[in-house]
């Protein structure tokens, strides 16, 4: 399996210009091919790669871009198109690949074998040889030690203008944890990111990223300010910059809180982790009418906490620590009483489960976690293991 480590890199002004130049050319190549596809051209990786010579003739500046990066553009396009065809075949929303916008840095992917690391310096090649070489190689100063050996390096730039190199490397063997039959079930939700209930009768509460409302308000405000300016004016550009910085900050905070929650969750002693499958929550999102309340839910489920990302992270970490992850059908787990099995409607604003039959009063999420665990222990029906779930999910 692959491990990714992102390291901030420092580059000189001319080297930064070189990177910016190369990503602009790669993006242009990507977008040009995409425009052909949008106009109805057929996609073939093989045919597309053959056109690179023509592109070089049309735009000689491409020659200053490192060839492996250009190759990577075709692979990326191929991947995007494959995803598109797969979704069409599966009858999902197809989502044709999109143009890469100018204001975003087009990730530069370097195959590891062509890169050199000398002490704290990562040397990134540029295109051309001898007198045809336009830019000298980029010498990037690494702020941390990279994993060695590595398979691939992806260079990115964030909205604040910092450059990063993400090293992909093969991870070591995973350590299997002894399966002692203990398990902890989590209900993933909105009010708290995860509520767990274990076979030992212990409850675990993990909060999530809660300041997103504040950030959304700021972002909405910035957008409305910007809407009042002329597009392309200085103020418009300035506000766009601020907008990107704020949303970058929000993303970072969100990622940080996800990581903390994730680390806490996977540190628990139980040898099995049981999660509800999220498809039920999606159905909530789709089927409800868009009232003010469900609108808030929509945002929180879909974007703010990145539950899907979170589940992927749990799977990933579990594999490394040798824990088992099970995904259970989550249907009715919030509606059923964990004491007697009575079923009643539980609108999302109801935070407490009160059972009219046996008199159980319990936090809504705790009740669902208990149900999920009970379901897991009863092993009702087949549940997919990790690989099945992941392959299903990659189709989304």
| Closer residue to Zn ion, CB minimum distance, 347 or 356 | 356
Cβ(33)–Cβ(44) below 8 Å: no
Asked whether the bond before 149 is cis by omega within 30 degrees of 0, the reply is yes
CB of residue 199 to Zn ion, shortest distance in Å? 21
Cβ(356)–Cβ(193) below 8 Å: no
Q: Give the list of residues 6+ apart from residue 276 with CB closer than 8 angstroms, or none.
A: 185, 186, 187, 188, 327, 328, 329, 330, 333, 368, 372
CB of residue 349 to Zn ion, shortest distance in Å? 21
| Closer residue to Zn ion, CB minimum distance, 155 or 373 | 373
Q: In three state form, how does the secondary structure of 7-37 look? A: EEEECCHHHHHHHHHHHHHHHHHHHHHHHHH
CB of residue 198 to Zn ion, shortest distance in Å? 21
| Closer residue to Zn ion, CB minimum distance, 16 or 360 | 360
Separation between Cα atoms, residue 110 and residue 265, nearest integer Å: 34
φ, ψ of residue 282 to 5 degrees: the values are -60, -40
DSSP, res 208: -
| Closer residue to Zn ion, CB minimum distance, 94 or 339 | 339
Cβ(184)–Cβ(204) below 8 Å: yes
CB of residue 343 to Zn ion, shortest distance in Å? 10
| Closer residue to Zn ion, CB minimum distance, 200 or 344 | 344
CB of residue 353 to Zn ion, shortest distance in Å? 9
CB of residue 336 to Zn ion, shortest distance in Å? 9
What does the binding site for Zn ion look like in residue numbers (CB under 5 A)?
Answer: 337, 339-340, 342, 355, 357-358, 360
| Closer residue to Zn ion, CB minimum distance, 34 or 369 | 369
């Amino acid at each position: 399996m692959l491990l990714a480590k992102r390291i901030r890199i420092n580059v000189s002004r001319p080297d930064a210009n070189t990177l910016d130049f190369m990503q602009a050319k790669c993006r242009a190549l990507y977008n040009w091919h995409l425009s052909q596809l949008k106009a109805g051209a057929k996609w073939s990786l093989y045919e597309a790669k053959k056109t690179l010579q023509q592109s070089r003739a049309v735009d000689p500046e491409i020659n200053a871009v490192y060839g492996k990066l250009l190759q990577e553009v075709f692979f990326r396009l191929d991947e995007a198109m494959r995803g598109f065809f797969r979704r069409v075949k599966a009858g999902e929303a197809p989502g044709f690949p999109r143009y890469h916008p100018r204001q975003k840095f087009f990730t530069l992917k370097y195959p590891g074998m062509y890169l050199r690391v000398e002490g704290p310096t990562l040397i990134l090649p540029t295109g051309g040889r001898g007198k045809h070489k336009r830019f000298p190689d980029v010498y990037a100063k690494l702020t941390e030690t990279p994993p060695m050996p590595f398979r691939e390096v992806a260079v990115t730039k964030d909205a604040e203008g910092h450059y990063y190199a993400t090293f992909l490397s093969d991870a070591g063997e995973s350590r299997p944890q002894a399966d002692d039959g203990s398990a902890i079930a989590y209900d993933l939700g909105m009010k708290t990111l995860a509520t767990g209930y274990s076979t030992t009768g212990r409850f675990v509460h993990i909060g999530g990223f809660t300041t997103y409302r504040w950030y959304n308000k700021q972002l909405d405000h910035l957008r409305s300010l910007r809407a009042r300016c002329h597009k392309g004016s200085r103020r418009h550009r300035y506000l766009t910059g601020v907008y990107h910085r704020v949303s970058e900050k929000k993303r970072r905070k969100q990622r940080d809180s996800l990581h903390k929650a994730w680390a806490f969750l996977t540190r628990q002693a139980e040898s099995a982790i049981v999660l509800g499958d999220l498809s039920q929550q999606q159905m909530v999102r789709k089927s409800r009418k868009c009232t003010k309340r469900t609108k808030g839910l929509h945002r929180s489920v879909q974007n703010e906490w990145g539950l899907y990302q979170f589940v992927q992270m749990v799977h990933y970490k579990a594999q490394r620590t040798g824990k088992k992850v099970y995904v259970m059908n989550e249907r009715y787990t919030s509606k059923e009483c964990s004491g007697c099995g009575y079923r009643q409607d539980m609108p999302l604003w109801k935070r407490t489960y009160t059972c009219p039959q046996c008199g159980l009063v319990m936090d809504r999420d705790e009740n669902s976690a208990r149900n999920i665990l009970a379901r897991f222990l009863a092993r009702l029906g087949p549940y997919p293991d990790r690989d099945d779930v992941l392959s299903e999910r990659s189709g989304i």
